Amino acid sequence: MNITNIKSTYGYVGFLPFAAFSLIPWIIGGDISKTLIYFQLGYGAIILTFLGGFAWGWRDDQKDQKFNLSIGIGFSLLGCLILLLTYLKLILTSLLLSIISFYLFYIFEKSTEDFKKKDIDYRKFRKILTLLVCISFLISSGYWINPYSNPYL
C-alpha cells in the first residue's frame, strides 16, 4: 500500500466519528443527542489543533516561514477556542466556527508548496475529506436549530 492510500484510509477512518456523531442524533433523538454533538465538537477541536501542530512542523523549507508558522499556531488556537465555546454552551457558534476552520485549513494547506507536489489522489482525498467533515458539522447544525428536533424541546 503506498503512502497516499495509507493516509486516505486513516483519514476516512478518522472521519467515521464525525459521521456517527452527526447522524445518530437524527435517529435516536432525545437528550443523548446533545452529548453526541458535544463529542463531535470536542473531537473536531482536537483534530484541528493536531492539524495546526503538524502544519508548524512541515514547512521548514517553505517561503514565508514566519507567516506560515503563525497560521499553524492560529489553527491550534482556533481548536482551543472551539472547545471553550462548547464549554460555554455556545454550540451553534462552535459548529459554524468548526465548518469555517476546517475549510480554511484546507485552503491553507492547498496554498503550500508541499501540497502542489503531492499526487492527484492525495489532493482529491483532502478535498473530499474536508467536504465530508464540513457536511457532518452542517448536519449537526441543522439538528441543533431545527425546531422539530431541537434537543431542548
User: Is residue 152 a contact residue for another protein (CB under 8 A)?
Assistant: no
Cβ-contact 47, 143 below 8 angstroms: no
Task: From 99, 84, 101, 105, select the one nearest 140 (Cα to Cα).
Answer: 99
Cβ-contact 41, 76 below 8 angstroms: no
Biggest alpha carbon distance in the chain? 53
User: Is residue 29 a contact residue for another protein (CB under 8 A)?
Assistant: yes
Q: Write down the least CB distance from residue 69 to another protein, Å.
A: 37
Please tell me the distance from the alpha carbon of residue 22 to that of residue 6, in angstroms, as a whole number: 25
At a CB cut-off of 8 Å and minimum separation 6, what does 53 contact? 72, 76
Q: What is the dihedral of CA 55, 60, 61, 62, to 10 degrees?
A: 50
Q: Which is nearer to another protein, 81 or 135 (CB)?
A: 135
User: Is residue 19 a contact residue for another protein (CB under 8 A)?
Assistant: no
User: Is residue 32 a contact residue for another protein (CB under 8 A)?
Assistant: no
Q: Say how many residues touch another protein, by CB under 8 A.
A: 13
User: Is residue 139 a contact residue for another protein (CB under 8 A)?
Assistant: yes
State which of residues 16, 27, 107, 120 lies at the interface with another protein (CB under 8 A). Answer: 27
Q: Write down the least CB distance from residue 27 to another protein, Å.
A: 7
Q: Which is nearer to another protein, 106 or 144 (CB)?
A: 144
Binding site for another protein (CB under 8 A): 26-27, 29, 138-139, 141-143, 145-149
